[in-house]
Amino acid sequence: MKKILLIILDGLGDRPNRALGNKTALQAAFKPNLDYLADNGVTGLMSPVGFGIRSGSDTSHLSILGYNPREYYTGRGPFEALGLGIDLQPGDVAFRANFASVENGRVTDRRAGRIKDTTELSRSLETEIDGVKFIIKSGVEHRAALVIRGPNLSDRVSETDPHAINSDIMLTKPLSPEAEFTSSVINKFLIRSREILNNHEVNKKRIQNGEKPANEIMIRGAGKLPEMPSFEKLYGLKAACVSGTPLIRGIARMAGFDILNVSGMTGRTDTNYENVISAAVDALKTHDFVLVNIKGTDIAGHDRKPELKREVIEKTDRAMEGLKKLLDTTVIAVTGDHSTPCSFGDHTGDPVPILISTSGITRDYVKTFDEASVSLGYYKITSLDIMPLLLSYSDRSEKYGA
């Protein structure tokens, strides 16, 4: 039996961009190692969750790992909180949060200029209102997790992220009668937080320095802790996760993965890609399955920066030079979790390229790894097909039938 290394370049899929000569970032990138793996493996197109579905990183990663999100997904918030080290209790409601910039009651930047550290801001907002405790922990850049803890709380509340600039700031609304108290207490918190953030020294200094203030906290992805079988129980695989992204770490933690900390792994475009890949290779010595998430490709897509997306791909590719030596003992798969075209700046339902490479595999005729080339490969699959394929190629799958 072989080990399995699954590398997910977040938001990898793209569309042709004029800035790159009407090529995608993958087509424009110099990526000899990815092309080698494609040439020595099988390729195709993978639709996250289902064909044409515009999936989030949460639902797509769940499905890639074999957890059908229609069964296990309760909201993004619990995974963000777990990934940031918050221990959730039964009855807690968790949210994904963004620090944003607001002027005259309107959102001017949903990411507060991609502020790098919001730790002091998060600490200033922790409080208790009407018997409900508000726990906040900062994540990468503008991201954070909010957990509310108290009796009779509901996750049936609306989000406060308008998903567009020049939109009015929002409060929550109850989506069912039992959520009225929860919505009311959250709104008290949001109104209080605006006053605190507008007067916080961190934001005063940012304004003085010509930077956008992080003076609004927007919440979405409400959910309670889901019940999920462990990855080892599902597949008999001891697994590890190498990712600087709290969401991915949270999903992996919920699934029972060992969560690895790596020097220089920031979850941003400035990640030390060599250290990330090296740590994944080392983890294969003690684990059967290693998941790697590279966030930089998605960040570049959201920021509409095709040259940066190409650069992240090339840096990741250089770090993958040593993977060629593993093919006799390891099944290596590379794909995205969804498409984030730089021309669009958000997730789309476009399929993403996938390659699976190992020794002894029946290769297709694809020589290069990009959206168009792999359309001629073996597979047109969904994310729920990935684990069965990896188990089969690693000689770990069980026979179906007599």
Q: Which two tokens stand for residue 109?
A: 């930047």
Q: Are 340 and 14 in contact (CB under 8 A)?
A: yes
Number of Cβ within a 10 Å radius of residue 167: 15
CA distance readout (Å), 226 to 89, 91, 220, 245: 11, 11, 17, 20
Q: Give the distance from CA 59 to its chain's centroid.
A: 9
Q: Which amino acid is at 207?
A: I
Q: What is the pLDDT of residue 382?
A: 97
Tell me the DSSP string of 74-94.
--SHHHHHHHTT----TT-EE
Instruction: Give the CATH superfamily of 3-73+227-393.
Output: Alkaline Phosphatase, subunit A (3.40.720.10)
Q: What is the pLDDT of residue 140?
A: 86
List where CATH 3.40.720.10 sits in the chain: 3-73+227-393
Q: What is the pLDDT of residue 27?
A: 98
Longest Cα pair distance anywhere in the chain, in angstroms?
73
Residues whose CB falls within 8 Å of the CB of residue 203, separated by 6 or more in sequence, listed in order: 121, 197, 213, 214, 215
Tally: H helices and E strands in the chain: 14, 14
321-353 in b/e form (b: 16+ CB < 10 A) is eebeebbeebbbbbbbbbbbbbeeeebbbbbbb
Could you state, in chain order, the average pLDDT of each consecutive group of 10 residues for the chain (402 residues)? 98 97 98 98 97 95 97 92 93 96 94 93 97 95 95 96 92 97 97 96 95 96 93 97 95 96 94 98 98 97 97 98 97 98 96 98 97 97 98 94 84
CA distance readout (Å), 108 to 116, 119, 220: 18, 21, 18
Alpha helices in 21-134 (DSSP H): 25-28, 32-39, 57-64, 69-72, 77-83, 119-125
Q: How far apart are CA 331 and CA 351, in angstroms?
A: 22
